[in-house]
Structures are given as structure tokens and as C-alpha cells.
Copies of this chain bind each other. A is one copy, B any other.
């Protein structure tokens, strides 16, 4: 059955027509099966779309219409990111055992080239090229080669990474894509409009394009201005099997390849791997970073340098801001929740607890219902698997809500003892879109009581009626 092209949730007219069917009247979100155009960005999401940016030197980008899905007659669905000079590159890929063809091709390419000499990334939306066998691999390679060719390169090894997102189990309309690569190449530009259109071209069911950029300096040359820009997509699965999380980050800072991989892995652990929309991991998930050094300065070549430490902090913050955009666009999400687990013997344990809270359907539905249900949070802490013994000690565990308006924390549980909660205050805290849950394990690095342990942060959204509607009902 062909999916509908545009789906609007919550129009009263539709709602009334379908009284006999389970339809959720949650208002506000508009989801399409192709990337959004300006007019369709929900009012509540427009604040997350930048109107200008600071883009890295030497990169050009384009978002073009290839019509990967025959039904897509105008929205951009072919993205090209290109560097004038060869880049260091690093990437993290899905851990799913059913790796899509573009994942296999890109990881092979980075490995063969030791992360050097990468020139760009080509991405299509609308078809994931996953579970597509040998033909799928061939198609992914041909996209990469074609991008090289159109940019005048004829090396034996490609220098273009490839990503795909969309339906699983279908072959790419490869001729249609290859025929459009010359246009994608000629569309390359470095304007804000070009970056935004490129960010749009990688979207599937996202309700808004996710793009961010910033400038920074490094300790070794404090007067030099570097830039970093990134785009991402991902919003759970509205279309069957369309859950892919993609990210492309470009910087004009000079960073050598092995160091770049180390920087990316650290930052992804604390950003894209610290968010949860629905806990599923797709066959295509990929985040790649390209560093072309076009802004000059001394290359970062060692993990021991001051520049490395500074860059680690910058990149972690940057990828966190990108990853948070994915949570902001979680399917059916009405809440943006930060969970902070403090004073754990280790970061790994703290993150594991935060992740368990973030994935608990009972916690997620309670938040949707604006219910200050600390029992469910505590339960999730208690059943977190595989913790180092002694991490969770009921008698020193505390839970509180940190309100989005900056007012004092609302204590729910202190050292294992339930507080008498002011329900009125709890309710008003939960009216805000944003909320922070703080779980204090009351331990330290030694596992003993006392301060000084490790913290982890995780971001997630709630489970709403609309999530069920989007993921369950759209074909009925």
C-alpha cells in the first residue's frame, strides 16, 4: 500500500470523521514522508531552525531533488557535502548487525584510506539501501564514484562517503540518483541557504531541518577563528523502517585522522549515544566528521595536547546540541527531558542508569501525563542491568526535579526516604516543555558514600498518544 504523502495529526475535521477509529487528537505536529519545506515546519519547532550560521571555510554543500521516491515531485532528497581540499575523516556507525550497504561502503572507505583524503559525503533520503544484497553494495559504491567523477576526481579508491535513509528492503532507483549528481555538484554553494537546503535533503519524517554551526578558537592560536557546522536527521520511525539517524559535521580546523576518530567517538558517546526517542537502533545510523584544515594553524596530532582537550570539549558540546535537536523532533514528543545521574562510581554506570530511565515506557508515559511519579524513576534505577556492585544503594539514593524556570529543585526522594511532595508545585513544574530529572547516587569514585563521583547526562522525550498513532495507525 502506498503511504500517504502528507499526514496531518489532530485536525478537528479529520478527528470527527474518524470517531469510530482510534485517532489521537493531539495537536500541532505535521509529518510528511519527504523532507519538509518551509511552509510545513510546525510553529512550535521554528525556533530550532537557524536563520543564519557560521560555516567552515572550504566546504560547499547542496540539496537537490532526485525523486528517490517516485511520489516525491519537488522536495530535496539528494545531499552533497564537498570540501575543496582533502579532509581527515572519522565516523561512527550503527552497531546493528544488519548493516546497510552505505554503512559497509563508508566504513570500508575510511578504513582503506586510514581516514585521510576524504573529500565529501553524498546522501539520499527516501530509500535506505538496507537488506539489499550485492546490488545494494554496488549501488552505494556507484553513488560514491559518481560524486568523485562530477568533482573531477578519477582515483581508484573513492573519496566520497555515502549515506542513505528511508525504507528497508528496496533497491535504490540508482539511475535516477546518478543522473542527478551533476546537478548536485553544480548546485554546491557555501551560503546559509545552501546549508539549510542540504540539511532538509537528508530528512525523512523529520518535521524540521536540523542544522547548527558555531565558531571557536584553539589554545595554540587564540586569534584564529575556526568554524564547525553540522546537520542531522532522525525522528523515530514514522514510515516503516525509516528510523535512521544521520549526522554530518564539517570543520575547517586542522585535525589529524586518528585524533579525529578519538574526538568523534568521545563526543558521540556523550551526545548521539546519550539520547533516546524510542530505543531502537537502525541499520543505517551514521555520524561522520570531516576536517579540512582550511582555516590554517597547527594540526591537532596528539591526544595529549591542550588543543585536543579544548577541541574535545567543543565537539562534545556541539554534538550534544545537534543530538538534542533529534529529541526535540521525537515522534509525538510533548516533553524534552534531561536526566542527570550524579555521584556514580563510574561514567559507564551513571550512563547505564540514565539510559534505563530514558527508555522506561512507564516513566515516559508518566511524563506525558504530567505525573510526578518518582516511584517509576526509582524502579528504573533499581532494575538497571549490569551495574558495578555497590553503584546503587537505596539508602543514599535521591531523586529530584529541576524546573525549567530556574526555580529551586523539587525533592522527591532523599537518601531513600520519600519526601512529602507539594503536588501543586510538581504539577506546575511538569507544565513546562522542558524538565530535568536529577538522580543522585550519593556515592563517589571509590564507591563509598561522599561526593566526587562521575556524572552522566541523557536526553529523551515522552511517549504520547501521537507516538502510538504515528507508529501504529498510519496504514489502517
Q: Which A residues form the contact surface with B (CB < 8 A)? A: 1, 12, 15, 19-26, 94-98, 131, 133, 167-169, 236-237, 240-241, 243, 278-283, 359-362, 365-371, 373-376, 378-383, 392, 394, 413, 416-418, 423, 462-469, 471-476
Contacts of A236 on B, CB cut-off 8 Å? 362
Give chain B nearest CB distance to A234 CB in angstroms: 13
Contacts of A96 on B, CB cut-off 8 Å? 379, 382-383
How long is the Cα–Cα vector from A277 to B420 in the complex, in angstroms? 30
Contacting A24 at CB < 8 Å: which of B167, B281, B465?
B465
Are A375 and B240 in contact (CB-based, < 8 A)?
A: yes
Give chain B nearest CB distance to A381 CB in angstroms: 7
Contacting A361 at CB < 8 Å: which of B278, B368, B374, B416?
B278
Are B360 and A417 in contact (CB-based, < 8 A)?
A: no
User: With A278-B362, A468-B464, A471-B361 in contact, is A376–B98 under 8 Å at CB?
Assistant: no
How long is the Cα–Cα vector from A24 to B462 in the complex, in angstroms? 17
How long is the Cα–Cα vector from A470 to B464 in the complex, in angstroms? 11
Give chain B nearest CB distance to A15 CB in angstroms: 8
Are B169 and A376 in contact (CB-based, < 8 A)?
A: no
Are B378 and A98 in contact (CB-based, < 8 A)?
A: yes
Give the most central of A131, A359, A368, A467: most B CB within 10 Å.
Answer: A131
Contacts of A281 on B, CB cut-off 8 Å? 379, 382-383
Contacting A382 at CB < 8 Å: which of B98, B383, B413?
B98
Contacting A362 at CB < 8 Å: which of B243, B371, B394, B418?
B243
Are A366 and B471 in contact (CB-based, < 8 A)?
A: yes
Closest residue on chain B to residue A472 by CB atoms: B369
Contacts of A471 on B, CB cut-off 8 Å? 361-362, 365-366, 369
User: With A1-B423, A417-B133, A472-B365 in contact, is A279–B95 under 8 Å at CB?
Assistant: no
Q: Can you list the 7 inter-chain pairs with the closest CB atoms, starting with the nearest?
A: A369-B472, A241-B375, A365-B471, A96-B382, A169-B418, A281-B383, A365-B472
How long is the Cα–Cα vector from A131 to B260 in the complex, in angstroms? 47
Contacts of A98 on B, CB cut-off 8 Å? 378-379, 381-382, 394
Closest residue on chain B to residue A360 by CB atoms: B280
Contacts of A469 on B, CB cut-off 8 Å? 465
Give chain B nearest CB distance to A359 CB in angstroms: 8
Are B360 and A279 in contact (CB-based, < 8 A)?
A: yes
Are A382 and B279 in contact (CB-based, < 8 A)?
A: no
Give chain B nearest CB distance to A417 CB in angstroms: 7
Are B362 and A131 in contact (CB-based, < 8 A)?
A: no
Are B468 and A381 in contact (CB-based, < 8 A)?
A: no
User: With A237-B362, A240-B373, A468-B463 in contact, is A95–B282 under 8 Å at CB?
Assistant: no
